[in-house]
Amino acid sequence: MCGIVGYIGRDRAGSVMVDGLKRLEYRGYDSSGVAVWTEEGIKQTKRTGRVAELEAALGDDLGGTLGISHTRWATHGDVTEANAHPHTSSDGKIALVHNGVIENYVGMKTFLTEKGYTFQSQTDTEALCNLIAYHYAKEPEVAGKNRFLESVRKSLRHVEGTYGIAALCTDCPGELIGARKGSPLILGLGEGENILASDANALTHCTRNVVYLEDNEVVHLTDDDFSITTVSSKSVEAVIHQVDWDTSEAELGDYDHFMQKEIFEQPTSLENGMRGRFSDDGSTAVFGGLNLNSQELRQVDRILFLACGTAWHSCLVAEYLIERFARIPVEVEYASEFRYRNAPLDKNTLVIAISQSGETIDTLGALREAKRKGYRTLAINNSVGSTIARESDGGIYQHAGPEIGVASTKAFTSQIMICAMLALYLGRLRDLSYGDGVAIVKALKKVPAQVEEILKQNEKIATVAKKYASYEDCLFLGRQLMFPIALEGALKLKEISYIHAEGYPAAEMKHGPIALISEDCPSVFLATSGEVFSKSLANAQEVKARKGKVICIASEGCDIPEGLADDTILVPECHEIVQPILMTIPIQLFSYHVALERGCDVDKPRNLAKSVTVE
């Protein structure tokens, strides 16, 4: 969940690293630091807080030809300068930055303490740093053999857990080493300079040519060359990719916050997700990367979705839509639970993992477990070169553009759009009629314009949000397709405003949550036209009878009795398959404005980071 930037090349290491850390700060912002090689030894600067604190401490000292840097989301140890990365070995020889968790670090630390190495932090990372120094001190000088590289390899063979690392050595002014296992690391290839980063965001301002390291690979960099081997010393032939998204998409532009920008980018991200993905006759969706033919897909008799967090909510929407339109049974599992269960699955089960980053550690672990047992796997994600995208049998790329705000917005609606198109595609392979297919395609194509219409209510929704910003509890309630959106609404509000919020099926309110209803606990009802609309109104009446405030987000044309809702927000009437997308926009804006009113940092909410790459 932390961010890494390493640099070797021209005399601008500090500036490249600080710029890269700013672009990665959504991955962790407890503390940050840089270490630069100098003739006098490793020069290190670390600060707690945001990258701006580090930048101020560095001042004009942004040169150097070799360095490593890190922005931290704490796992082991408090948020202190001592625990901030980079870490330096107690003999001063090795500097290291690390993402991931070293599970056997206590044993390492005990061993190294007995050998005379000392520790200044509470982190697992410092144990690995000292272990590399230990092996470096023992490694003999042999012609044709890189002593630094061998010491890193030997150390990594002892590691249990996950890592993405970048390391430098005082004796090696022209060398930078990186390695990964379970935590992403990318090599950026420049002209007279090379960069290591945990995310492409950190290096696309310098180069578009990248190499995605695989697990158990070690890269050795100079300013104009690189080589990749495995931890066990086998050579690896690198595959160079080009990052093709516009780097301006990761810039704030004229917006106040990335979350605001990404909410308002949704008409474009939804349009991009559909582009080129409908058949010529306009009756079905078309996907080019599934790597499963029609006959194989018709043999699927169960689908298992795996995800975490917001992506898990999109899976719940997919469950409703695929069962409704394709008539295929669907199960949704938390990836973190599935990977440690021995769940019985039918041989004709198709496993689909959803992850915006494509690096979510639990989702990746669950995907690998499914593949290990021989199941066909697909991925829906927003990062072409991600580990999940590379390791799945096929997949669908979202084309939503980079999402920087920690609380997911455009990636979530993009995932729902893809799932709706997948439900259409699978339905048309089975018994969904041509006419129904045409109606769904028309409905999907209208969505970007309908989202534009909802965004025009931004000021109205801001006014509603201000009324409820002082409350400390909130319920989100919806039925059928609106239940996952209620869960997502509650998650968004608690993520960025720190208000305790819960999402429930509206009918379940009577089975416990109704005890929370009072004048101090407002309820957000998600009500769409259809067979359960009257039931939703009845649930809202139960809240009003107990003096609870009611905020009603409803489809236009719904007949809401006068006096039932304290505040009403309307979305355009639409086909049921796209209702979840349209109903999501008001809850995103509501949460955003509530958080602003409470003075919260919406882009960097406390204790959270964008991509969860540690367990």
CA-CA distance, 559 to 552, in Å (whole number)?
A: 12
CA-CA distance, 336 to 165, in Å (whole number)?
A: 24
Q: Per the residue annotation, which of 2, 172, 206, 308 is the catalytic one?
A: 2
Q: For residues 414 and 427, is the Cβ–Cβ distance under 8 A?
A: no
CA-CA distance, 484 to 191, in Å (whole number)?
A: 48
- Chain length of the chain: 615
Q: Per the residue annotation, which of 93, 410, 549, 610 is the catalytic one?
A: 610
494 is catalytic: no
Which amino acid, one-letter code, is at 525? F
The 3-state secondary structure of 62-112, one letter per residue: CCCCEEEEEEECCCCCCCCCCCCCCEECCCCCEEEEEECCECCHHHHHHHH
**Cβ within 8 Å of residue 593, ≥6 positions away:** 461, 462, 465, 466, 469
Give which of 608, 359, 331 is closest to 492, Cα–Cα: 608
Sheet holding 330-334, edge to edge: 330-334, 302-307, 349-355, 376-381, 394-397
Residue 427, CB half-sphere, CA atoms under 13 Å: how many?
Answer: 28
Which amino acid, one-letter code, is at 584? T
610 is catalytic: yes
b vs e for 402-417, b when ≥16 Cβ sit within 10 Å of the residue's Cβ? bbbbbbbbbbbbbbbb
**Cβ within 8 Å of residue 306, ≥6 positions away:** 315, 333, 335, 338, 351, 352, 353, 354, 363, 366, 367, 370
Catalytic residue annotation: 2, 610
